[in-house]
Chains A and B, each alone.
Chain A
Amino acid sequence: MFGIPEPWWSVIRAVVWALFIIIFLAVNAIVAVWLERKVSGRIQRRIGPQRVGRPIGWAQTIADVFKLLVKEDVRAEATDKWVFLLAPAIPFAAITLMFLVVPWGKNLIPLNLNIGLLFVVAVTSFEVLGLFMAGWGSNNKWALLGAMRTAAAMISYELPMVLAILAVGMTAGSLNMNDVVNAQSRVPFILIQPVAFLIYYIASLAEANRTPFDFTEAESELVAGANIEYSGLRWAFFFLAEYGSLVGTSAIAATLFLGGWRGPILPGPVWFLIKTYLLVYVAMWIRWTLPRVRIDQLLDFGWKFLLPLALADIAVTGIVLALL
């Protein structure tokens, strides 16, 4: 294309996509934090930020970013040096990888992997590893408790999540994200697989560390959990990953269940963003309504309710598919 030889063309393509995803995640964190403040404000009859960037406070998060940039990067003497220093990069890297297989529009996909769905599940497991490293490396008791919770919780919600994604794969007849979107050209999967959507959405709230499943950092119990010892830019990376994870899981949910970029009149990427941020908003709405569950209750809920439900959903899907 454009007279550039093939191997170089794919390199340029990869670099452009990588830059795009990283910039998107950075901008997303700014927008999502602002949105969270505004949504929580409205729910609580407040107005949220409004001073920096009047009248809607659009520059508040940008100001916060600058504040974090100039803050001191503190590392305590007793921390596990390399584990502590590397930990913030890993959740962010995982989220960036996750966006590799998310289609933005027709033929607008960074990497058209034929097993994109599995890829998503695989890379998200890194995120938990990063939180665990942060909790362990901090050598702080509260952080260690947060790390313990992370490891325990992950096993219980990843399984139902994978099964819910599998149900979508079965319905679409493919694990390719593009195929899944194309299979929803008539009816979005939320109508065909409502149970799978619920399971995925609940599990994704746990994945993104959102209330009611935000016990990894549960500020009223563990003060700040795994990232308690971090400051400045390293802490900002956790924040970036947290909101990236929120928008990432929402984007996957939008692609798998709401028809992805498909929609009338507007171009694909616009529809994709609308659907994604609709789900982001729902997650925020849920966060500012519900109390936090206890860790053992999440494990109970995951193993005794979500997992059997997901298995039943897969069984029913299989039978229906076999009969059709």
Chain B
Amino acid sequence: MKVADIGKAAVNIAKGLGVTFGEQLKKPITNFYPDTPATVKDGYRGVPVLVQLPTGEFTCTACMACVRACPIGIIQLDTVMVDRKRAMDEFRLEVGRCLQCNLCVESCNFDALVMAPEFELASYTREPLVLYKNDLAKLYAKYFWPKEGEEHHFPARVTSKHHAPGAGTGTPRGPRAAKIAQTGVTLTPGGGGGEPAGKTPVGASVPAESAREATGTTRPQDTGAQKAGEGA
């Protein structure tokens, strides 16, 4: 060791100490997470949720595209025949294993699935991590239902930039979705405007038939949807 080296070493250590001392004087950058809620960026991918219109109807057509698109097969969809056409009876999503890869959302030709920015899902057991259609609809309502007096936006608008290429235009795809979007339904959720899962039939299972009657839309052909699911 030369004297000059020792001097240089001492100076460099002093400079390093200077850096840490300077940082002490600056403001901490900690987020007070549980005290102040954490924010996620616009379009954060948390849980794929089912779109449920304020009328209580699911826009899902039970085309099974999302079931096929999921790389790990955590989506289960039970169908029921209504008027000789398939409709969604129950939807089961195992969020605990979800990769949040967005492939199910992109595969959906009817924009019936959308990623909700939900991330506080921790639980002690696995059961709460299996979400059914009503749980998913609740999450949808939590993030995409209008606030008091606002107009309801179709979720495709809200999360347009994170949809598959082609859906990024801001207009929902699919004939049925387009029709719903044009109606521009406005609704003030019941139960004080906060959590809409109270008395309103949002969380409740709505028979497919009555839902269909409520909006009066026609169901598209299932075969086309299947093909699209394969390609996406």
Asked if chains A and B are in direct contact (CB within 8 A), the reply is: yes
Q: What residues on A are CB-neighbors of B17 within 8 Å? A: 285-286, 289
Which of A45, A285, A304 is close to B21, meaning CB atoms less than 8 Å apart?
A285
CB nearest to B6 among chain A residues: A305
Which of A41, A46, A47, A288 is close to B20, meaning CB atoms less than 8 Å apart?
A288
- The 8 A CB mask of B18-31 against A (1 = contact, 0 = none) is 01110110111110
- Assess the A45–B20 pair: CB atoms within 8 A: no
Q: How far is the CA of A120 from the CA of B27 in the complex (A)?
A: 41
Which of A43, A47, A285, A286 is close to B30, meaning CB atoms less than 8 Å apart?
A47
B9 to chain A, nearest CB (A): 11
B82 to chain A, nearest CB (A): 54
CB nearest to A282 among chain B residues: B17
Size class of the A contact interface (CB-based, 8 Å): 10 to 19
Q: How far is the CA of A103 from the CA of B133 in the complex (A)?
A: 74
* Binding site secondary structure of chain B: helix
- Assess the B1–A45 pair: CB atoms within 8 A: no
Which parts of A37-51 form the interface with B (CB within 8 Å)? 39, 41-47
Whether a CB of chain A sits under 8 angstroms from the CB of B191 is no
Q: What residues on B are CB-neighbors of A44 within 8 Å? A: 23
- Assess the B13–A45 pair: CB atoms within 8 A: no
- Assess the A47–B16 pair: CB atoms within 8 A: no
- Assess the B16–A45 pair: CB atoms within 8 A: no
Decide yes or no: A305 and B21 within 8 Å by CB, A45-B29, A47-B28, A47-B30 being known contacts.
Answer: no
Q: How far is the CA of A285 from the CA of B24 in the complex (A)?
A: 10
B96 to chain A, nearest CB (A): 28
Size class of the B contact interface (CB-based, 8 Å): 10 to 19
Q: How far is the CA of A43 from the CA of B22 in the complex (A)?
A: 8
CB nearest to A300 among chain B residues: B1
Number of A-B contacts (CB under 8 A): 34
B7 to chain A, nearest CB (A): 13
- The 8 A CB mask of A19-53 against B (1 = contact, 0 = none) is 00000000000000000000101111111000000
Whether a CB of chain B sits under 8 angstroms from the CB of A290 is yes
Q: How far is the CA of A16 from the CA of B30 in the complex (A)?
A: 44
B31 to chain A, nearest CB (A): 10
Which of A45, A286, A289 is close to B28, meaning CB atoms less than 8 Å apart?
A45
Q: How far is the CA of A305 from the CA of B23 in the complex (A)?
A: 32
Decide yes or no: A290 and B13 within 8 Å by CB, A45-B29, A305-B1 being known contacts.
Answer: yes
Q: What residues on A are CB-neighbors of B13 within 8 Å? A: 290
Q: How far is the CA of A304 from the CA of B21 in the complex (A)?
A: 31
Decide yes or no: A46 and B23 within 8 Å by CB, A286-B17, A289-B17 being known contacts.
Answer: no
CB nearest to B24 among chain A residues: A42
- Assess the B20–A43 pair: CB atoms within 8 A: yes
- Assess the A289–B30 pair: CB atoms within 8 A: no
- The 8 A CB mask of A293-310 against B (1 = contact, 0 = none) is 000000000001100000
Decide yes or no: A43 and B23 within 8 Å by CB, A289-B16, A289-B17 being known contacts.
Answer: yes
A292 to chain B, nearest CB (A): 14
Which parts of B22-42 form the interface with A (CB within 8 Å)? 23-24, 26-30
Q: What residues on B are CB-neighbors of A46 within 8 Å? A: 28-30
- Assess the B16–A42 pair: CB atoms within 8 A: no
CB nearest to B27 among chain A residues: A45
Q: What residues on A are CB-neighbors of B29 within 8 Å? A: 45-46
Q: What residues on B are CB-neighbors of A289 within 8 Å? A: 16-17, 19-20
- Assess the A43–B24 pair: CB atoms within 8 A: yes
Q: How far is the CA of A124 from the CA of B10 in the complex (A)?
A: 28
Q: Closest 9 A-B residue pairs measured CB to CB?
A: A289-B20, A42-B24, A47-B28, A43-B20, A45-B29, A47-B30, A45-B28, A289-B17, A46-B30
CB<8 Å pairs between A and B, sample of 17? A42-B23, A42-B24, A42-B28, A43-B24, A45-B26, A45-B27, A45-B29, A46-B28, A46-B29, A46-B30, A47-B28, A285-B20, A289-B17, A290-B13, A290-B16, A304-B1, A305-B1
**What would 6 more interface pairs be, CB under 8 Å, given A43-B20, A289-B20?**
A39-B24, A42-B23, A45-B29, A45-B30, A46-B29, A305-B1
